[in-house]
Copies of this chain bind each other. A is one copy, B any other.
Amino acid sequence: MSDGIKHGDWLTYRPDIKVLDCTVRDGGLINNHHFDDDFVRTVYNANVAAGVDYMEVGYKGDKALYSPSKNGPWKHCDEDSLRRIVGDNDTDLKLAVMADAERTNYKRDIPKKSESVIDLIRVACYIHQIPLALDMVKDAADKGYEVMLQLMALSTVNDRDLDMALKEATESDAGGVYIVDSFGSLYSEQIRAYTQRFLAAVKAAGKEVGIHAHNNQQLAYANTIEAIICGASRVDATFGGIGRGAGNCPMELILGFLHNPKFKMRPILECTQKIFTPLAKTMDWGYSIPYALTGQLNMHPRSAIDFRAGANPDDYVAFYDQLMEEVS
């Protein structure tokens, strides 16, 4: 590829690629962010030891929408909650939070960078929320943060809208834009086409392209490396592949692929076997057929999540029949 980036081959690596661990943020969608401090601290320490670039701790959710009585502390990521875990975060690991469009009182709840241990605000929106999201990007940038824009449910956005959104993002203060495969429906051919389209739009302005993949079709890791091969430089992963529904790209796979000597595998394995392998016995995430079916149909996984939480989570035929009724 002749895009000016040094792309890696079998015996090199790309120092421009940054890994973000979204374990506590995306995993928190399974349990309304009720992870206890020990859990979050163990993940934090593992990320620091492994040389991961960013850790996304949770959301800046509006307490009027998400009451603290029903949601754990990582739904709001108040400064004192964060500091209980990280102190002043005197490490190389940067901290991130997600700010959802229409679910965040961003002007009030996001303090100035000088008053926060947070480094990166990731603004997440659907295509129709782009105008609001751009104001959130500006607000966060003005306050002194690094900012990224996550365009969710990309697989439902038509090309004309996408090109307009990318143009707006290019002219914004966001440092980059993410391909977010919310439904886990995208195939490698599509990931290639999206990555090229995103880079063509934003790269000349010095912005990066990232990817957040879901594992509905066992493609989270595959699509992540496909995006990397095409020039993406920001990738998301989680311990044990934890995440809502079918989960995310597993951290041990992406670090193994990247071959950047700054990344250490052992702390990842240690944390995974200590916390996530046992947790997977009582918390439902990861590949299963209902998620594959919604992914194949380019549908939100919520019906599969509901089905998996029901009385017969492995009655795939019943779920298939239900889906066929819904789409016909």
Contact = CB atoms under 8 A, between A and B. Distances in A.
A189 interface: yes
Contacts of A305: none
Number of copies: 2
B189 A292 contact: no
Contacts of A320: 265-266, 269
A317 B270 contact: yes
Nearest to A216: B253
A307 interface: no
Given A188-B188, A226-B188, A269 B289 contact: yes
Interface string A273-290: 100010000000000010
A39 interface: no
B256 A296 contact: yes
A129 B250 CA distance: 37
Interface residues of A, number: 35
A269 B277 CA distance: 27
A266 B225 contact: no
B218 A292 contact: no
A271 to B, nearest CB: 10
B269 A316 contact: yes
A299 to B, nearest CB: 13
Contacts of A265: 320
A316 to B, nearest CB: 4
14 contacts: A187-B225, A215-B218, A217-B221, A217-B253, A218-B220, A218-B222, A218-B253, A252-B293, A256-B293, A266-B317, A269-B320, A270-B317, A273-B314, A273-B317
Interchain residue pairs A-B with the least CB separation, the first 7? A222-B222, A269-B316, A256-B296, A277-B314, A273-B316, A218-B221, A269-B317
